[in-house]
């Protein structure tokens, strides 16, 4: 009865002197692999932290940029509104508008500033628009010297003027700008008539 022949492994074929030396080598490699995995995980965590930090900074910078863009748009809008208001105020004075405040409220919603900085109303140059408006609705403007106001007629009683002023204020509060301007024109005619008769 002999023992079975078991194949034996010869560590010298791999360059090791003994099985124990081979086992020590394999164990050392496993340890190195474990150490490398730990280093890799640490590096990944460090990279993730840096990435999160950069993402926060980027988010903050984007929010600041958005605020600056909104502030710039607001300033541009304010500047355009100022250009429209100053242009329309100047035109109102030049063209003899009876109530510049009501005129501005009536026309400024239709006005825009062109790329070259000029003001357009309903797509027309402001001066041209106001001239056309003067022809269509002359009651919005002061009567010219040529038109006269019928000198010699009796001055309007004070109560009529007060009634017109009351209706004018009511129309203004109600937002009925055309009626308000028409009433303002009537008041101006009454005042002109009274002045000429005195």
Q: How many CB atoms lie within 10 A of CB 160?
A: 13
Q: What is the pLDDT of residue 54?
A: 93
For residue range 137-183, what is the model confidence (pLDDT) as tens digits?
888 888 765 544 444 444 445 677 777 788 888 888 888 777 877 77
pTM for the structure as a whole: 0.48
Chunked into runs of 10 residues, the chain (198 residues) has average pLDDT values of 58 76 82 80 88 92 93 89 85 84 82 84 86 84 59 54 81 80 77 63
Q: What is the pLDDT of residue 156?
A: 46
Rounded to a whole number of angstroms, the distance between the first and last alpha carbons of the chain is 156
Q: Which residues contact 147 (CB under 8 A, 6 or more apart)?
A: none
């Amino acid at each position: 009865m002999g023992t079975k022949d078991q194949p034996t492994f010869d560590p010298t074929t791999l360059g090791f002197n003994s099985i124990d030396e081979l086992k020590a080598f394999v164990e050392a490699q496993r340890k190195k692999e474990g150490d490398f995995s730990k280093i890799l995980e640490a590096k990944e965590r460090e990279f993730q932290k840096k990435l999160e930090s950069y993402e926060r900074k980027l988010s903050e910078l984007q929010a600041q940029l958005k605020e600056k863009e909104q502030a710039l748009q607001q300033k541009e809008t304010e500047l355009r509104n100022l250009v429209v208001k100053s242009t329309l105020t100047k035109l109102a004075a030049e063209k003899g508008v009876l109530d510049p405040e009501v005129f501005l409220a009536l026309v400024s919603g239709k006005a825009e500033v062109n790329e070259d900085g000029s003001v357009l109303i309903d797509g027309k140059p402001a001066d041209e628009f106001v001239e056309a408006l003067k022809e269509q609705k002359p009651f919005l403007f002061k009567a010219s010297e040529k038109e006269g106001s019928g000198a010699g007629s009796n001055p309007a009683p004070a109560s009529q003027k007060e009634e017109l002023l009351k209706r004018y204020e009511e129309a203004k509060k109600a937002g009925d700008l055309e009626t308000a301007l028409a009433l303002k024109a009537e008041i101006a005619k009454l005042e002109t008539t009274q002045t000429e008769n005195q």
